[in-house]
Amino acid sequence: MRQGKVIYVGISEWTADQISKGAALARELRVPLVASQPQYSMLWRVIEAEVVQACEREGIGQVVWSPLAQGILTGKYSPGQPLPQGSRAATTAGAPFFDKLAGQWLRAEVLQAVSKLSTTAQEAGLTLPQLAIAWVLQNPQVSAAIIGASNPGQIKENVKAVGIRLAPGLLKQIDTILEGLIERDPAKTG
């Protein structure tokens, strides 16, 4: 910062307690701590119980990653079917990072629920990825979502989620479909 190479500071996957302590230290050092970068999706909501509130108190925005749950919320994986050739799951299955994140969602009950979400998205005039990204961006504490894409077409389609407001009834329908599958335990932050 003294050399002008760093203008703002962000954190990633910190607990609410770490955020509070880090923000106090940042104020003391006069370092502008402005962003938290946690994982967040319809399936992974561990930040909602504590992290979001801590960041709101400290004036820190959320720049979330994996809004498509490592591709699970694209609808390309079907229960009882082989992994699509060339998909992230097919090419990275067995890799520790992938197995920890997406491997937990490659279960029949999750994939069946995602299939129902796909129908819900179509009824709303959206693709499933657009629905998932719009859902993340609907949270007023989310400043931005980091999306991964394998090709420019995916970016073109996914960016259409920006500015979409999902109706309360649709949000309730999403929660009903995913009931019992959503990870909310704040102890899993980090």
Residue 190 has what pLDDT?
77
Are the C-beta atoms of residues 106 and 72 closer than 8 Å to each other? yes
Distance of alpha carbon 110 from alpha carbon 180, whole angstroms: 10
Residue 178 has what pLDDT?
98
Are the C-beta atoms of residues 150 and 120 closer than 8 Å to each other? no
Strand order in 142-146's β-sheet? 9-11, 33-36, 61-65, 142-146
Per-residue pLDDT of the chain (190 residues; tens, 9 = 90+): 778 888 899 999 999 999 999 999 999 999 999 999 999 999 999 999 999 999 999 999 999 999 999 889 999 888 887 766 766 665 665 566 565 656 678 888 999 999 999 999 999 999 999 999 999 999 999 999 999 888 899 999 999 999 999 999 999 999 999 999 999 999 998 7
Distance of alpha carbon 164 from alpha carbon 133, whole angstroms: 9
Query: How remote is the C-alpha of 82 from its chain's centroid?
Result: 25
Map out the domains of the chain as residue ranges.
9-188
Quote the tokens at residue 101. Answer: 């994140």
For residue 106, give every residue at least 6 positions away whose Cβ sits within 8 Å of its Cβ, in sequence order, or none: 72, 77, 89
Residue 28 has what pLDDT?
93
Residue 99 has what pLDDT?
59
Angle at 65 between CA 1 and CA 177, to 5 degrees: 155
Are the C-beta atoms of residues 43 and 74 closer than 8 Å to each other? no
For residue 188, give every residue at least 6 positions away whose Cβ sits within 8 Å of its Cβ, in sequence order, or none: 46
Distance of alpha carbon 71 from alpha carbon 88, whole angstroms: 7
Q: How far is CA 3 from CA 6, 9, 141, in A?
A: 8, 14, 31
The answer, as to whether pTM is greater than 0.85, is yes
Query: How remote is the C-alpha of 26 from its chain's centroid?
Result: 26
What CATH number has the domain spanning 9-188? 3.20.20.100
Residue 54 has what pLDDT?
97
φ, ψ at 144 (rounded to 5°): -160, 160
